[in-house]
């Protein structure tokens, strides 16, 4: 009996190994959301980040890096404040006060550079040159001066991995600035994002600004996402969809900001 | 045992190429997969067992440093590619170039099929769209680099 088993194992060892490795791969896939896994991914990305540092060092040789970063940070804060003010004008402030809303413009942001776009055949994430040492943690919003970029998912000491908005598995809660209707946005293969299942009663028009809704622990409200380029309605369907063009160019973005508190 | 440092050397080279050179070679979001080319070489030279083990290990490293949204996905796709490419061990001299490269293209296609179908499982993309937009272009682009590498290093002579 044992002899037969040994012979069987010997004869089919390559197939058995394949089954074992496939099971192992699926196990890792299913463990993806375990924080320890993401932490490990962050640490390894950290380890390999040194490859990109000479290039970054050359870019920063001008010596104006610190001043530049400060100015960008200030610029970013002013832009965010500006968006907040515009929003405030559009809303009924009296009702806001009655509801006990607090105006908050005190974003704490950390400027970061994109040092790598990954080895994956699809643009799922980018690697940033900031990590735990600067207060970065998983699930923090990443933005650029033009709008939303994504969120941090795995963080090492000096690097952070950011899942970008163009990842097909990324979902973002948004609101349409004029109609105030909410939607859940996902990326499409044509380079646009789409918000589905918007009630037909909501009047959405091309050109309308799309902002983060704020109904999320990750993204503060009123961060620009993009603008509506097309409204799709299907006959006899109770819902409509809005095609959204992202303002931020996710393929070429080089400098971003991580919102560490708001 | 003498080949172990060589393996490490080539593996590191493939990672560096993927991290530094591949972004420059990207056309419309399609980029070559240097680690896959190396895995195919290893599997064709050493067979199914080494091919799939190397594919799994290297795939996992690629997943860890490559920042894919699914950890373990490259490991899975590259394990299968390594296993299938192992069937081509000692076949390089017996098959004519066209047949050999057709098999290689088929293996790369299977690799990307596994990768993209799982990667896009939550997206509402039609399968034919994934095949024509991602799988076929990536397959052909990576196959070109495999053929060029084979021309330079020649599997037949190693």
Q: d(Cα A129, Cα A109) in Å, to the nearest integer? A: 14
> Which chain B residues are closer than 8 Å to A116 by Cβ?
19, 67
Which residues, 6+ apart, have CB-to-CB distance to B145 below 8 Å?
B32, B34, B37
Contact of B11 with chain A, judged by CB distance below 8 Å, is answered with no
Task: State both tokens at A193.
Answer: 């994002």
Q: Is residue A158 part of a domain?
A: yes
Rounded Cα gap, residues A115 and A127, in angstroms: 6
The predicted structure's pLDDT at residue A76: 81
Which CATH number belongs to the domain containing residue A193 in this structure?
2.40.10.340
Angstrom distance (rounded) from CA A148 to CA A24: 35
Residue A235 lies in a domain: yes
Cα distance from A26 to chain B (closest Cα, Å)? 7
Asked if the C-beta of B147 comes within 8 angstroms of chain A's C-beta atoms, the answer is: no
C-beta of residue A211 within 8 angstroms of C-beta of residue A91:
no
Which site among A33, A119, A232 would you substitute to test the B interface, given the most B Cβ atoms closer than 10 Å to its Cβ?
A119
Nearest one of B50, B19, B46, B45 to B32, comparing CA atoms: B19
Asked whether B61 and B7 are in contact (CB, 8 A), the reply is no
Name chain A contacts of B72, Cβ cutoff 8 Å.
25-29, 31-32
Q: Which of A31, A58, A121 to mutate to test the interface with B (most CBs of B within 10 A)?
A: A121
The predicted structure's pLDDT at residue B16: 82
ipTM of predicted complex: 0.91
Whether A201 has a pLDDT exceeding 60, the answer reads: yes
More confident residue, A105 or B13: B13
Task: Kindly report, residue by residue over A108-165, the tens digit of the pLDDT.
Answer: 888 888 887 766 666 678 888 898 988 999 999 999 888 899 999 888 888 888 888 8
How large is the average pLDDT for residues B117-139?
A: 88
**What 8-state DSSP symbol labels residue B27?**
B
**Three-state DSSP class for residue B90:** coil
Report how far apart, in Å, the C-alpha atoms of A123 and of each of A211, B38, B143 are.
23, 22, 21
User: What value, to the nearest 5°, has the Cα angle with vertex A259 and ends A66 and A256?
Assistant: 55
| Domain assignment present for A23 | no
Sign of torsion, CA A158 A160 A161 A164? negative
Predicted confidence (pLDDT) at residue A229 exceeds the cutoff of 80: yes
Kindly report the pTM of this predicted structure.
0.74
Average of pLDDT values for A178-197?
85
Query: Would you call B72 and A120 a contact, using CB atoms and an 8 Å cutoff?
Result: no
Enclosing domain of residue A112: 108-262
Burial of B7 (0-12, 13-18, 19+ CB in 10 A): middle
Q: What is the assigned CATH class of domain B3-157?
A: mainly alpha
What is the number of helices (H) and of strands (E) in chain B? 7, 0
- Give chain A's mean pLDDT: 82
Is residue A177 domain-resident?
yes
Asked if the model's pLDDT at residue A101 lies above 50, the reply is: no
Q: Given this model, what pLDDT does residue B59 score?
A: 92
Q: What are phi and psi of A143, to 5 degrees?
A: -130, 165
Model confidence at B2: pLDDT above 70: no
pLDDT of residue A64: 67
Cα–Cα distance for residue pair B34/B26, rounded to 1 Å: 13
- Diameter of chain B measured on Cα atoms: 49
CB contact under 8 A, B56 and A32: no
The pLDDT value recorded for residue A19 is 94
| Residue A152, in any domain of the structure | yes
Say if A117 falls within a structural domain.
Answer: yes
Task: Give A-chain residues touching B12 at CB under 8 angstroms.
Answer: none
| Chain A nearest CA to B59, separation (Å) | 10
Q: Name the band, by pLDDT with cuts 50, 70 and 90, for residue A102.
A: very low
Distance CA A73, CA A67 (A): 10
> How many domains does chain A contain in total?
1
For residue A138 the two structure tokens come to: 């998983």
Mean pLDDT in residue range A69-97: 73
The reply to whether residue B52 touches residue A14, judged by beta carbons under 8 angstroms, is: yes
Ordered by start, the domain boundaries in chain B are 3-157
- Over 50: is that where the pLDDT of A193 sits? yes
In a domain, A26, yes or no: no
Residue of A nearest to B31 (CA): A121
Does A153 fall in a domain? yes
């Amino acid at each position: 009996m044992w002899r037969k088993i040994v012979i069987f194992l010997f004869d089919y060892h390559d197939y058995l190994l394949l089954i074992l490795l496939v099971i192992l791969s699926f196990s890792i896939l299913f463990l993806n959301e375990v924080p320890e896994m993401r932490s490990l991914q962050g640490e390894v990305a950290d380890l390999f980040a040194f490859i990109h540092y000479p290039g970054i060092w050359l870019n920063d040789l001008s010596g104006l890096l610190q001043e530049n970063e400060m100015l960008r940070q200030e610029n970013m804060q002013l832009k965010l404040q500006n968006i907040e003010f515009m929003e405030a004008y559009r809303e009924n402030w009296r009702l806001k006060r009655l509801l006990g809303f607090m105006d908050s413009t005190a974003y704490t942001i950390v400027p970061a550079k994109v040092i790598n776009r990954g080895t994956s055949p699809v643009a799922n994430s980018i690697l940033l040159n900031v990590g735990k040492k600067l207060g970065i943690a998983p699930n923090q919003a990443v933005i650029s001066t033009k709008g939303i970029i994504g969120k941090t998912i795995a963080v090492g000491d000096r690097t952070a991995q950011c899942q970008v908005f163009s990842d097909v598995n990324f979902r973002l809660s948004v609101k349409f600035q004029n109609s105030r209707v909410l939607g859940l946005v996902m990326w499409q293969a044509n380079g646009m994002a789409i918000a589905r299942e918007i009630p037909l009663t909501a009047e959405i028009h091309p050109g309308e600004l799309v902002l983060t809704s704020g109904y999320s622990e990750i993204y503060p409200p009123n961060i620009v996402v993009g603008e509506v380029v097309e409204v799709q309605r299907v006959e006899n369907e109770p819902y409509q969809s809005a095609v959204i063009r992202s303002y931020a160019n996710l393929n070429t973005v080089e400098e971003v900001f991580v919102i560490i508190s708001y | 045992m003498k080949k172990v440092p060589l393996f490490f050397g080539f593996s590191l080279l493939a990672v560096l190429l993927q991290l530094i050179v591949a972004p420059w070679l990207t056309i419309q979001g399609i980029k070559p997969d240097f680690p896959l080319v190396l895995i195919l070489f290893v599997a064709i030279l050493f067979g199914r067992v080494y091919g799939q083990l190397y594919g799994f290990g290297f795939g996992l490293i690629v997943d860890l440093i490559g920042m894919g949204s699914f950890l373990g996905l490259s490991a899975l796709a590259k394990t299968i590619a390594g296993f299938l490419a192992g069937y081509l061990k000692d076949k390089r001299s017996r098959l004519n170039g066209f047949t050999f490269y057709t098999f290689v293209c088929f293996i790369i296609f299977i690799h990307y099929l596994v990768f993209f179908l799982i990667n896009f499982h939550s997206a509402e993309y039609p399968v034919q769209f994934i095949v024509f937009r991602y799988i076929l272009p990536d397959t052909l682009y990576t196959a070109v680099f495999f053929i060029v590498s084979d021309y330079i290093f020649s599997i037949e002579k190693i």
